[in-house]
């Protein structure tokens, strides 16, 4: 299976390295990026033979079975459609789109190409610890699951990156909480959302106010089967990145990631007894990003459905957008 | 300082034992209860000399400086007013009342007796671990606090007690979450609430539906200063009682009670590595109930304000009632 | 029960406060100390009516049913004998003596006064968490116990106190490890020691070498029933005081004090996720010191044997002395 | 780099799978085993083209650059010598040998082939968490390290495998504690051992007595630079496999593996709050086994020294044998 990657920014380079070196059964044969240095890096470091300044050229050039999209969110939907029409399997970073209509357009296009695989990278589904929780639930360890409490916390970045990024990211709930939303849907068995409420505050980064965004937020979602979920998000943590998910069932509770340890080393020193923390999401989920690529390649190779559907991605966007609407209107939003 | 206690049920007996044996500077001289056996117990076990079948008789009998009310919630407000009018200091179990007008009536009556102390037993304010968090916050350990996430979880009681109790308790948010509400207000510096939203589900105890109550719930509260808080409550836990509170500030986060350990003994056996849990709130807060009584007695003796005001209790009821309204109307409720 | 205390240094004052204020059923009526200020403090703060410059005068003065000895170790044995001959019950801080012959002399004297209670303060037996472990073992939670791993670690004290104290303390094993030795004997059911080996190092406090002492050490003890035990000790920890004991049985393991938390508050900040630690043994065992005094008073009042015997104290000294001998001779020592 | 593997038992198959599928830069081209089914498996599942019934035939056949030895311990030394004389790089599972003379013979033979790499698989040096501790120490995080406390605990295997295996394994210290010994030497900077003492007990598996072996043991080692170390080992744990190592320095302490979690999922259920444990060493160190093979292949490819030397392996055997001698003689053993 021959793969072309689009986008060689920070995350793009990581995906490219995984595909070039660590994913059995695939070959990274092409890359495209508008940045000359990035393409040079792909040739020099990873030996990617064919390099393109634009995506269309890569699609048109032939010799590629699948594309990996690690491009800005606003491009995802159209690039997926283009790839499908060019007969390529597609992996795209999350989120699918910030527009519900776009999500549905992609779903419809994909339906016209039943032989092609499309998967959006909700990376937590591929993390060993989340998978362990999922399997315990399926094995009945907590009875019937009915409640999730999940949060994603970023270490504070004083550089102001968050503020600039907020203009196009769709805001904290669509950028960060989509992971918690998708995780909750996955662990609860995909219930239908009926109502959400969100609240937030600007604790540190005043510049976020201009985009209607916040740096700390919390939300509740109710589902048609009676399940409920809490989502928390922060961009101002002092200790590091943290992804924690609790799933409560009628016979017990599981907590994935109760403490955000960088490693399994306890330090006893003048600060007490402590664990250092993962600085960013990448250290936490490095293994999951690799599993995700492997799983997608295996799905194509074995012609089996990917681990999650485009509709899962649409639902995450739909709920995320409702959270944003609730944050702005200060009302509960019905879905 | 001579104390009379009203109510000798499960919690009443615990308060009575503390007052009789473990609180320096006070003497338990009177008790009232409609249950003959309870009064006999107080005489026999604690040597309480004067015992009454009704509260008015105890108030009228003289020789009592202060009363401890461990009676049904619906009686608290009037019993406090009666005690104040009889010139007694009053400690009452929470909540102050399930009616906002009643709360205010008590506040007004208390204002007419500036020499008398009145305190509602929000016991967490007297727990060593919560106090440690409070002092760290005041010392600036987490910068400016702006977010709380607090939950109270009960072990599932298959006997159906929760269902029967729900008829008069005001529901899960007023019965259980008032503790989290008061804790959040305390740790955040008493901000003004502006909006709440609540959701819940019946996961186990179907009988709760008849009272509009739930056995698992979650809520968000927004405050005028931009602070936000999450409150969670459950009556169906498998592992035991759990009270956990996170306080997030601009420079760090504190978590009180990250794991509900019954003791500081780790067990490694066929079930893994584990801590057994406190079965009920009482084991968790036994020391705090004692501190609470000591603090109240010291406040009376030293003529200083109790650790929390009647208005704190009113606010907790006001927010708790708004949560219940939100749960029933499925809308955000403005305060 | 009327109590006189001998010794009002740091630990003496704590015992005195407990006896004066927190132990039901006893009255602190006398105190002796060679330090005038300490006696004044006892009179002023605790209202101790009778104060003596020397121990003999206190014993002779009458009106005292029991004495609490919080005096230098070298005085314990003779003071116990004197108290017994004066007809007093005796509580003495550990260790009983640094001389085995002295231990036995005290045992013999006590045997002549069967109506008098004598107890040495091995405080861990009265700690709630150690007691919880003990009760779990008796309930069969770990099958048959056969191995203990126990350590006592002090926070480094750069003042040099340890070095000066070492001249008379008997060294680290007799001063600190006696607690671990007694705990191991207690949890293992009092097996007969047959062989020990000890090693140590001077990592920080060079001055200890002049007394043949070390600031970090470890030891192994073998018992006649096949049980084995490890004891560790340190005076140079960066994080605080730590007492941790593992007990292994044929069906599981218990660990008392797996993490030396000062409180149940997790801090997430620039140092990671952490617990602050208890600075000294006193914060860790404050409740146990109180329980210990209560238990002794109750044993006298109810005329029942104290929780541990003089022979337990002798055995702890005997094993501790063998550890010291092994450290100095670099050989295994047979008992 | 073309690799041949000798031994396709449980661990052999795991090494073979890693080499065939997950180690970049190497090709598994040959395998030898006396068991026909194992060779068939290697051909069928891993596509290993050349398969041999005996080791000499594989060495003689040509086309192999390096061998991986996953054979019985008694064969290691001679097989390494044979491979070196045949001009092959060698990776061998630990221990190097149970005979010191054999260890030295291998060291000498290796010295005659400076162009060939030889590495013994002390897998913990390749574990991410142990490496994190090692790097923190090198960065000065705990000052000067001077004390290690390390244990390896196996889950009880009621099948009696341990008893049969004991006849040839060299006993618990040589089989299990060599890992702790090597880890201690690595983390302490390779100090010279001067004295050891060991003790053990048979708690469950009576059959071990016939081989002079135990199922639970503990040992102390002293080093010439004043460092000290404790090693613990057990074959009777109820909860699972556990490898835990504490390193104490003058400015702090690190603990690798404080709790043997199978995953980062906390379970709250009728058994309390708990983590399930890794059942065997393999789940705990699966990633380290892979890193180890990758590191060896990279060392050959880049012509750099392997991560540990043959002398490291000899020293681990030397100390392990002294522990066994101490266990049998009940005396401290000088080295």
> In this predicted structure, what is the pLDDT of residue A185?
98
Distance of CA B315 to the CA centre of its chain: 13
**Residue B132 at interface with chain C, using a CB cutoff of 8 Å:** yes
Domain that holds residue A70: 2-116
Q: What percent of chain B has pLDDT over 70?
A: 100
Claim to verify: residue A230 and residue A98 sit in the same structural domain: no
- The shortest CB-CB distance from A132 to any of D21, D258, D263 is to D263
Q: What is the pLDDT of residue A206?
A: 96
**Same structural domain, C248 and C111:** no
Residue D23 shares a structural domain with residue D160: no
pLDDT band (50, 70, 90) for residue B25: confident
- A42 within 8 A of A63, measured Cβ to Cβ: no
List the pLDDT tens digit at each of the 335 positions of chain D.
Answer: 999 999 999 999 999 999 998 898 899 999 999 999 999 999 999 999 999 999 999 999 989 999 999 999 999 999 999 999 999 999 999 999 999 999 999 999 999 999 999 999 999 999 999 999 999 999 999 999 999 999 999 999 999 888 888 888 889 999 999 999 999 999 999 999 999 999 999 999 999 999 999 999 999 999 999 999 999 999 999 999 999 999 999 999 999 999 999 999 999 999 999 999 999 999 999 999 999 999 999 999 999 999 999 999 999 999 999 999 999 999 999 99
Residues B169, B318, single domain; the answer is yes
d(CA B33, CA B53): 5
Closest CA to A89 of A317, A322, A314, A297: A297
Contact A203, A215 (CB under 8 A): yes
Neighbouring C-beta atoms of residue D299, cutoff 10 Å: 17
Q: Does the pLDDT at position B71 exceed 90?
A: yes
Confidence of residue C74 (pLDDT cuts 50, 70, 90): very high
| Residues in chain A within 8 Å Cβ distance of C270 | 238-239
Query: Alpha carbon A116 to chain centroid distance?
Result: 21
Give the CATH number of the domain where residue D65 resides: 3.40.50.720
Q: Is the sign of the CA dihedral B29, B34, B40, B41 positive or negative? A: negative
Contact between A269 and C239 using a beta-carbon 8 Å cutoff = yes
Distance (Å) of CA B33 to CA B2, B20, B118: 18, 17, 21
Q: What pLDDT, on the 0 to 100 scale, is given for residue C107? A: 97
- For residue A298, tell me if it sits in a domain: no
The Cα of A287 is separated from the nearest Cα of chain B by a number of Å equal to: 25
CA dist., res. B12 & res. B16, Å (int): 6
CA distance A275 to chain D (A): 10
Kindly state whether residues A150 and A70 are assigned to the same domain: no
Question: Would you say residue B73 has pLDDT above 90?
Answer: yes
Q: Which chains touch D (3 or more CB pairs under 8 A)?
A: A, B, C
User: Closest approach of chain D CAs to the CA of C125, in angstroms?
Assistant: 25
**D125-147 pLDDT tens trace:** 999 999 999 999 999 999 999 99
> Is residue D108 packed enough to be buried (19+ CB in 10 Å), middle (13-18) or exposed (0-12)?
exposed
H/E segment holding residue D193 = strand D193-201
Cβ neighbours of residue D165 closer than 8 Å, sequence gap 6 or more:
D175
Provide the strand spans (E) within A116-250.
118-121, 145-155, 193-201, 216-223, 228-237, 242-249
DSSP D156: P
Query: What is the CA B51 to chain-centroid distance, rounded?
Result: 26
Its ipTM equals 0.95
Shortest CA gap C253–chain B (Å):
5
> Are residues B176 and B33 located together in one domain of the fold?
no
Answer whether residue D214 is part of any domain: yes
C293 in any annotated domain: no
The pLDDT of residue D80 is 98
Q: Is residue A295 part of a domain?
A: no
The reply to whether C160 falls in a domain is yes
- C222 chain-D contacts, CB cut-off 8 A: 199
Q: How far is D278 from chain B (nearest CA, A)?
A: 9
How many C-alpha atoms does D264 have within 13 Å on its Cβ side? Answer: 20
Q: What SS3 class is residue D218?
A: strand
Chain A residues within an 8 Å CB radius of D261: 264
CB contact under 8 A, B273 and D267: no
Please tell me whether residues B84 and B141 are part of one structural domain.
Answer: no
- Output phi, psi for A89, to 5 deg: -70, 150
Same domain, A8 and A67: yes
Are B273 and D239 an interchain contact pair (Cβ–Cβ within 8 Å)? yes
d(CA B236, CA B157): 7
Query: What's the pLDDT score for residue B130?
Result: 98
Last residue of a domain, one of B74, B94, B116: B116
Residues of B in contact with D267 (CB under 8 A): 272
- CATH number of domain containing D325: 3.30.360.10
| Cα A156–chain centre separation | 20
Percent over 70 (pLDDT), chain A: 100
Instruction: Write out chain B residues lying below 8 Å of C132, CB-based.
Output: 262-263, 265
Percent helix, strand, coil in chain D, to 5, is 45, 25, 30
* pLDDT tier for residue A161 given thresholds of 50, 70 and 90: confident
* Domain shared by B42 and B73, yes or no: yes
Q: How many helices (H) and strands (E) does chain B have?
A: 11, 15
Domain boundary among the residues C116, C142, C164 is at: C116
Give how far the C-alpha of residue D134 lies from the chain's centroid of Cα atoms, to the nearest Å: 17
Q: Which residues pair with B199 in a beta bridge?
A: B218
Q: Which helix (H) or strand (E) holds D182?
A: helix D178-188
* pLDDT bucket at B161, cuts 50 / 70 / 90: confident
For A258, nearest residue in chain C (alpha carbons): C273
User: Which helix or strand (DSSP H or E) is residue D298 part of?
Assistant: helix D281-302
* C232 touches A at CB < 8 Å: no
Domain for residue D299, yes or no? no
Helical pair C10-17 and C36-46, crossing angle rounded to 10 deg? 20
Kindly report the pTM of this predicted structure.
Answer: 0.96
The model's confidence at residue B24, banded by pLDDT at 50, 70 and 90, is confident
The 3-class secondary structure across B187-253, one letter per residue, is HHCCCCEEEEEEEEECCCCHHHHHHCCCCEEEEEEEECCCCEEEEEEEEEECCCCEEEEEEEECCEE
Query: How buried is residue B325: exposed, middle or buried, by Cβ count under 10 Å (0-12/13-18/19+)?
Result: middle
Mean pLDDT, rounded, of chain C: 96
DSSP three-state, residue A260 = coil
Give the helix/strand (H/E) hosting B147.
strand B145-155
| B301 located within any domain | no
Q: Does D219 touch chain C if contact means CB atoms closer than 8 Å?
A: yes
Q: Are residues A51 and A166 in the same domain?
A: no
pLDDT at B169: 87
Q: What are residue A228's DSSP bridge partners?
A: A147, A222
| B258: contact with C, CB 8 A cutoff | yes
- Containing H/E element for B129? helix B128-138
Note whether A214 and A280 are same-domain residues: yes
Number of domains in chain B: 2
Res B276: pLDDT? 97
* Rounded Cα–Cα distance for residues C177 and A322 (Å): 62
Together in a domain, A97 and A160: no
Query: Mean pLDDT throughout B298-322?
Result: 96
What pLDDT, on a 0 to 100 scale, did the predictor assign at position C16? 98
- The whole-angstrom separation of Cα C56 and Cα C42 is 18
Q: What is the DSSP string of B281-311?
A: HHHHHHHHHHHHHHHHHHHHHHT---SS-HH
CB–CB of D29/D50 below 8 Å?
A: yes
- D324 and D217 in contact (C-beta within 8 Å)? no
Neighbours of chain A (3+ CB pairs under 8 A): B, C, D
Determine the pLDDT at residue B238: 98
**∠ at Cα C230 (C257, C159), nearest 5°?**
65
Please report which confidence band the pLDDT of residue C60 belongs to, taking 50, 70 and 90 as the band edges: very high
- Cβ contact D253–C237 (<8 Å): yes
* CA atoms of B1 and B252, how far apart (whole Å): 43
Write the residue in A259, A266, A269 that is nearest to C238 by C-beta.
A269
Q: Which chains touch C (3 or more CB pairs under 8 A)?
A: A, B, D
pLDDT value at A322 more than 90: yes
Q: Does D238 touch chain C (CB under 8 A)?
A: yes
* A308 falls within a domain: no
Tell me the pLDDT band of A24, cut-offs 50, 70 and 90. confident
pLDDT single digits (tens) A57-110: 999 998 999 999 999 999 999 999 999 999 999 999 999 999 999 999 999 999
Long-range contact list for D302-311, CB < 8 A, 24+ apart? Answer: D305/D117, D306/D117, D306/D118, D306/D119, D307/D119, D307/D125, D307/D126, D308/D119, D308/D120, D308/D122, D308/D125, D308/D182, D308/D186, D310/D96, D310/D103, D310/D106, D310/D107, D310/D110, D310/D118, D310/D120, D311/D107
Beta bridge partners of D264: none
Judged by CB atoms closer than 8 Å, whether chains meet at B263 and C128 is answered as: yes
Radius of gyration of chain D from its Cα atoms, rounded to whole angstroms: 20
- Judging contacts by C-beta atoms under 8 Å, the chain C residues touching residue B264 are 129, 256-258, 261
State the pLDDT at residue B142: 98
Query: What 3-state class would DSSP assign to A64?
Result: coil
Residue ending a domain, among B116, B144, B160, is: B116
Residue B197 near chain A (CB below 8 Å): yes
pLDDT tier for residue A168 given thresholds of 50, 70 and 90: confident
* Per-residue pLDDT, D128: 97
Q: Do A268 and D256 touch (CB under 8 A)?
A: no
Chain D residues with CB inside 8 Å of B263's CB?
A: none
Q: What is the largest CA-CA distance in chain D?
A: 62
Confirm if D155 and D280 have CB atoms less than 8 A apart: yes
CA of D121 vs chain A CAs: smallest distance (Å): 22
B330 touching A, CB under 8 A?
A: yes
């Amino acid at each position: 299976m021959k793969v072309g990657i689009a986008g060689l920014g920070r995350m793009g380079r990581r995906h490219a390295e995984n595909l070039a070196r660590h994913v059995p059964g695939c070959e990274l044969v092409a890359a495209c990026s508008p940045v000359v240095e990035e393409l040079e890096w792909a040739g020099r470091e990873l030996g990617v033979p064919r390099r393109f300044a634009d995506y269309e050229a890569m699609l048109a050039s032939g010799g590629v079975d699948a594309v990996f999209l690690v491009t800005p969110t606003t491009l995802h939907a159209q690039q997926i459609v283009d790839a499908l029409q060019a007969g390529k399997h597609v992996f795209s970073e999350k989120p699918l789109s910030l527009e519900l209509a776009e999500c549905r357009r992609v779903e419809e296009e994909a339906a016209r190409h039943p032989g092609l695989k499309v998967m959006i990278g909700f990376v937590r589904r591929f993390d060993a610890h989340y998978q362990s929780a999922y399997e315990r639930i399926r094995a009945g360890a907590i009875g019937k699951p009915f409640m999730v409490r999940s949060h994603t916390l970023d270490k504070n970045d004083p550089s102001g990156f968050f503020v600039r990024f907020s203009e196009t990211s769709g805001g904290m709930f669509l950028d960060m909480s989509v992971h918690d939303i998708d995780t909750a849907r996955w662990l609860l068995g995909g219930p239908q959302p009926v109502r959400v409420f969100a609240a937030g505050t600007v604790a540190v980064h005043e510049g976020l106010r201009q985009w209607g965004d916040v740096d700390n937020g919390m939300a509740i979602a109710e589902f048609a089967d009676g399940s409920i979920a809490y989502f928390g998000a922060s961009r101002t943590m002092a200790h590091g990145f943290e992804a924690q998910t609790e799933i409560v069932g009628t016979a017990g509770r599981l907590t994935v990631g109760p403490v955000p340890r960088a490693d399994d080393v306890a330090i006893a020193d003048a600060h007490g007894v402590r664990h250092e923390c993962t600085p960013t999401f990448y250290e936490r989920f490095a293994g999951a990003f690799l599993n995700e690529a492997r799983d997608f390649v295996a799905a194509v190779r074995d012609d089996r459905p990917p681990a999650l559907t485009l509709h899962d991605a649409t639902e995450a966007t739909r709920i995320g957008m409702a959270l944003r609407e609730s944050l702005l209107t200060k009302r509960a939003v019905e879905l």
